[in-house]
Amino acid sequence: MSQEITDAFEDIDFPTLERSLRHPRTFFSSALSILTGVVTVVACIPLFSVLFMLIWRGGKRLSLSLLTETPPSAFESGGGFGNAIVGTLLMVGIAILISVPFGVLAALFLAEFGSGSKTASAVRFCAKLLTGFPSILAGVFAYAAVVLVTGTYSAPAGGIALSILMLPIVMLTAEEAIKMVPHRMKEAAIGMGATQTQVVWKVILPTALPGLLTGVMLAVARAAGETAPLLFTALNSNYWIVQDGELALMDPTASLAVLIFNFSGVPFENQIELAWAAALVLVMIVLVINIGGQILSRNKVTS
């Protein structure tokens, strides 16, 4: 029986399975693969050129004094931007404290409790509009809502302006992360007698944590480099935010983005070099925050 089957297949002319560029589909696939690789390399050229310039020009001035001293005056040499680093971390921290809780709560409503309602559709539409919201308008809003009310530029005003930019990013990415949680896990928790609150707190949020942290990191990366909102809200300062042992929250606050903006347009070489170094430090801060968030999310998942 097996011999008859073998003889029957011997008379059939099977097409060759070798990969050859003479076949149109193989040639088209190879051409598109090469084109994709070339386009990828071309797209990475601006990124790596900027990183090279930052490391080359900013790395020359990196020293401990940059992190511990305040900005110099026009004709002064040396100096640093330690106060701007502290101010940036403070305002981004305030923005995180505002945007992350509200963003995650809104995402839970959009994904779990009111996904098909008209309210959810309206909230989702507004969030998508806010992702393209000009950053200067966020600064104008915070100026009218906080600066004019308090009568002073301050770090909380800057944090509120940055939180407006972070909120839609956190909300939309958190919604997608929550939707990726398998329904079987939620149904199993409900079947074991868990309440809706326990399902959210013990099942949904821990499972969606990597996606949530990714959204937070994306939002931080955008907020940390914004300049226009801070010009309207925190302004700038050449002093530390802690003065005489007191935290001067309601005073103008320095930030790396504003310092880079101010120093990059002056005709003094020392300030221009400090601007390059500040840009490199800002990129390093965002990179460290992103790496730390990824490590934290992996540790939470494995545990």
pLDDT at residue 300, as a whole number: 56
Residues in the chain: 303
The CA distance from 120 to 110, in Å, is 5
pLDDT higher than threshold 80 for residue 296: no
* Residue 4: per-residue pLDDT: 61
Q: Which residues of 256-267 are buried (b: 16+ CB within 10 A; e: fewer)?
A: bbbbbbbbeeee
Q: Name the helix (H) or strand (E) containing 247.
A: strand 246-247
Task: Locate 141 and state its tokens.
Answer: 């809003």
Phi, psi torsion values for 247, nearest 5 degrees: -85, 115
Cα–Cα distance for residue pair 113/303, rounded to 1 Å: 28
Paired tokens of 265? 């347009």
Residue 208 has pLDDT above 70, yes or no: yes
Note the Cα 134 to chain centre separation in Å: 17
Helix (H, G, I), strand (E, B) or coil at 237: coil
Percent of residues, the chain, with pLDDT higher than 90: 57
Query: Is the distance from CB of 149 to CB of 182 less than 8 angstroms?
Result: no
Q: What is the pLDDT of residue 137?
A: 93
Q: In one letter, which amino acid is 208?
A: A
Pick 61-300's CATH classification: 1.10.3720.10, 3.40.190.10, 3.90.550.10, 3.30.70.2970. 1.10.3720.10
Express each pLDDT in 36-93 by its tens digit. Answer: 999 999 999 998 998 899 999 989 888 888 889 999 988 888 889 999 999 999 999 9
Is-contact 90 84, C-beta < 8 A? no
At residue 122, the pLDDT reads: 93
Closest CA to 215 of 180, 166, 181, 179: 166
pLDDT band at 114 (very low <50, low <70, confident <90, very high): confident
What is the pTM (predicted TM-score) of this model? Answer: 0.84
d(CA 77, CA 73): 8
The span from the CA of 249 to the CA of 153, in Å, is 9
Tell me the torsion sign for CA atoms 218, 219, 221, 222: positive
For 232-279, the pLDDT digits (tens) are: 999 999 999 988 778 888 999 999 999 999 999 898 899 999 999 999
